[in-house]
Structure 1
Amino acid sequence: MKPTIKDIAAQAGVSIATVSRVLSNKRGTYSEKTKEKILKVAKELGYHKNTTAVDLVKKKADEIAVIINATPTNFSNMILSGIQQRATELGQRVIILYAGDRNTDMQHQAITTVMARSVSGILLLAVEPDATDLELLKETRTPFCFVSLYFGDDQILSISSDNKALAYQATEYLINNGHTKIGLAGIDDYHTGSQRVLGYQTAMRDHGLVAKNDWVKRGDYSYEAGRQLLQAFLPLEVTAIIAASDMVAVGLLNAAQQSQIAVPDKLSIIGIDGTFICEVTTPPITSVTQNFYEIGVRSVDKVMGKATETFVPTRIVVRGSVKLNR
C-alpha cells in the first residue's frame, strides 16, 4: 500500500495539515526544522506526491471547493444549484469532491485533496466531521462552512434550516389536525437527527402529549429505510408519521399502499424536505419544505465573508398525505 500524508504525520509526530502544507510548499506556517523532518520521513516511506494535484494549485484563489456526503436522499442538487449560481456571481468557480456516505477515510481524503489547492473557501455539504476533520479544516487557514448542518457553535460557520424548529413545526401541524400518536421515521443519531428528535419531543411535551421512545425509528434517510420501517410502526397504532426525508416518506407511502393502508384516511404522512418528489406521488406528500437553493446561496456568502443569517426559514406545504381536522 502506498504511503499517505496520514502515515507521514503519524511518524513525524505532526498534524496532517502541517504535512500537507509542507508538501505543497505553503510557507510561513511551519519551521524549517519541521519541514526537514517531514521531508525526511516522506523520503524514508517512499512517498510520492500527486503531481497532477500540484499542477492544479493556482496563484490566485478563484475556486470554492464543495465536499459532499453521498447521503441516499435527493436534496443536494438544489443546494448545489444555489452554490453554483452565487459562486458565478462572485467570480468563483466550483469544484466538487465526494466523501462517500459517512465514510471517515473518504472525508479525510477529500479534505486533504482540497488542502493541496488554493481555494477561496470550503463548503461541506451534509458532512459530519470528526475531530481529525475539524483539525484539518482549522489548520488550512481557509474559510470553511458546513452546509445543511448546524453545530450550535458560533465559532463554526454553518448555513442550515433550523432542524429543531422544523421538526417542531411538523409535529405541531399534525397535532393541530387531531393526531396524538405520532411517529418519527428514518432519523439518524448525528447532529441533524438529534436536533429533529428534540424538536419532535418538545412539541409533543408542549401540547401535553407523551412521545414514546419506540415511536422514534432510526434510519439513514433513504427510501428503503421508510419502506422497511412501516411494519415496525403498525403494532404501535400511530395515526401519523413524520418522515425524516422525502425519500423516507415515499418509502412509507409505498409500503402502506402495498399493505392496503389508506393514506391519509388510516395513516397520515408528512415529509421533511419538500423536494419535487412530493408532487409526483399518489397522494402527493405534505411536507415541511426547506429552501435548499437559498441554503446554497447563503453558504457561498458565508464562506466568502459576507453577512448572512445562519438559519433559512421553512414552511408547511399542504398536499394530500395528511388527514385534515375539519
Structure 2
Amino acid sequence: MKTVTISDVAAQAKVSKSTVSQFLNKRYDYMGDKTKQRIERAIEELGYQPNIVARSLKQKSTRTIGVIVANILHNFTTEVTRAIEDACISADYHTIICNADDDPEKEKHYIEMLRAKQVDGLIIFPTGGNRDLYKKMLKDRYPVIFLDRKVEDISISSVLLDNEMAAGLAIEHFIQKDYQRIGMITTSIMHHITPRLERIKGYEKAIRRHGLPFIEDYVKSAEPTNIQQVLEDLLGLEEPPEAILAGNDLVLIELLKYVKQKNLRIPEELAIIGIDDVSFASFYTPAITTVAQPTFEIGKMGAEALLNKIRTKNTENELFHYRFEPCLMVRDSV
C-alpha cells in the first residue's frame, strides 16, 4: 500500500506543499478557513499520518521532554507529573514519564535512554547517585531541571518545597496542643534525599527552639516495608512519643495501618500529623492533620522553567533553587 505523502495532501486540497506544512505546524496566521477545511478534509480522506521522525530531524526538536520520577507511588509524584503534563500539552509538547524507584542504576538507564531518543530536555527527581551524568548534561548544555530535590555541588536549577518549614509547622502545632514527646519517622535517608534530610533538620530546629530535649531515639528512618517494626520499637520505649510526624505519605499509610492493628485511638493515645496532603486525610476517621505541598504549582513551574530553557536555547540561565511554602491543614488527629 502506497504511503500517503504531504504532496498527495497538497494535490488533493489544491494548495502548495508549504501551505500543508504550515497547517501541520499550526501556523494559521494568513490561512483562510476554507483552505484549512480543504486540508483537513484531504488529510482525513487520504488517511495521511505525518512522519514525526522526519519532522523532528528537520526541526531539530522532538517536542518531547522526559520526566524521571523517584517513586511513582507517592501521591506527591502523581499530582506533580499531572501538572507537568498539563503544562507541556498547553505548549504542544509530549512527555515520557519514567519511574526510577530511587535507584541510581535505573535513573542512569533512563537518562541515557531518553537522551538517545533525543528528547528536548529532562525534569528529574534526582537520586543523587549519578553525579557524573549530571555534570555531563551541564557540560553538554543540555536543558535539565531538578524537581523536589537538589544535589550538593551540582549547578542544576531546582523547584522544591521549603521542607524545614513544613516540619516546623507540624511541630509548632503539636506544641500548641501541649504535646512534648514528639517523634518523627521518614523513609530511608541512606541516599541523602533532600526532602527527608531537610524535614528532619526542620523537626530538630523546632524542637530545640521551644526548649524541648532533642531525643535521637525519637527520630527514625526506614524503608516502607520496615516501618511497622520501627513503630513497634519506638512506641515500646520506656517513655514513648505521644505524637508522631510522618515524613511523607508512604510513612503515613504505614502509621495508620499500625494504629488500626493495635486499636490505638487518635489523638487520645497517639497524635499524628503527616507531610503531604493525601486524598484520604480529610475523610479518614478522625480526619488527619497534614502539611500540604502546592503540588500543581511545583509541577507547573518545573515544566515552564524547562520549556523556557528549551525555547531560548539558553542553558546558562542564572542558577536558582525556588522553594514553595507549605500550608498546615488542621483537622482532628492532634
Using the size of structure 1 for normalisation, the TM-score is 0.74
Residue type of the alignment partner of 1:157: S
**Corresponding residue number in structure 2 for 1:114:** 114
Using the TM superposition, name which of 125-134 and 303-312 deviates more: 303-312
**Corresponding residue number in structure 2 for 1:186:** 186
Q: What percentage of aligned pairs have identical amino acids?
A: 27
Written as runs of structure 1 = structure 2, the 5 A alignment for 1:109-258 is 109-125=109-125, 127-151=127-151, 155-189=155-189, 190=192, 191-220=194-223, 222=224, 224-234=225-235, 235=237, 236-258=239-261
Q: Which residues of structure 2 form unaligned runs of 5+?
A: 1-52, 310-316
| Aligned 8 A contact 2:121 2:144 in 1 | yes
Cα distance between partner residues in 1 of 2:55 and 2:213: 57
Residue type of the alignment partner of 2:79: M
Residue type of the alignment partner of 1:262: R
| Aligned 8 A contact 1:159 1:298 in 2 | yes
Cα distance between partner residues in 1 of 2:94 and 2:221: 38
| Aligned 8 A contact 2:186 2:248 in 1 | yes
1:249-304 deviation per Cα after TM superposition (whole angstroms, max 9, x unaligned): 13212212321221111110100110213234322211001111111101011222
1:175-211 deviation per Cα after TM superposition (whole angstroms, max 9, x unaligned): 1111111101124322221111110000111111112
In structure 2, the CA distance between the partners of 1:165 and 1:217, relative to structure 1 (3 Å rule), is same
Residue type of the alignment partner of 1:212: I
| Aligned 8 A contact 1:264 1:320 in 2 | yes
In structure 2, the CA distance between the partners of 1:284 and 1:215, relative to structure 1 (3 Å rule), is same
In structure 2, the CA distance between the partners of 1:154 and 1:104, relative to structure 1 (3 Å rule), is closer
| Aligned 8 A contact 1:57 1:117 in 2 | no
Q: Does 1:315 align with 2:327?
A: yes
**Corresponding residue number in structure 2 for 1:293:** 296
Shift of 1:126: 5.2
Cα distance between partner residues in 2 of 1:180 and 1:282: 24
Cα distance between partner residues in 2 of 1:310 and 1:256: 36
| Aligned 8 A contact 1:242 1:269 in 2 | yes
Which one has the largest radius of gyration? 2
**Corresponding residue number in structure 2 for 1:302:** 305
Count of matched residue pairs: 266
| Aligned 8 A contact 2:234 2:240 in 1 | yes
Give SS of 2:150's match: coil
Shift of 1:227: 3.2
Cα distance between partner residues in 2 of 1:153 and 1:180: 37
Shift of 1:71: 5.7
Shift of 1:57: 6.6
In structure 2, the CA distance between the partners of 1:294 and 1:108, relative to structure 1 (3 Å rule), is same
**Corresponding residue number in structure 2 for 1:279:** 282
Cα distance between partner residues in 2 of 1:261 and 1:233: 14
| Aligned 8 A contact 1:125 1:147 in 2 | yes
In structure 2, the CA distance between the partners of 1:69 and 1:203, relative to structure 1 (3 Å rule), is same
1:51-99 deviation per Cα after TM superposition (whole angstroms, max 9, x unaligned): xxx9997422411111122364322110011001111122211112222
- The two structures, once aligned, show a CA RMSD in angstroms of 2.5
Cα distance between partner residues in 1 of 2:147 and 2:115: 19
Using the size of structure 2 for normalisation, the TM-score is 0.73
Structure 1 consecutive aligned stretches of length 4 or more whose deviation exceeds 6 Å: 54-57, 306-309
**Corresponding residue number in structure 2 for 1:102:** 102
Residue type of the alignment partner of 1:121: G
**Corresponding residue number in structure 2 for 1:84:** 85
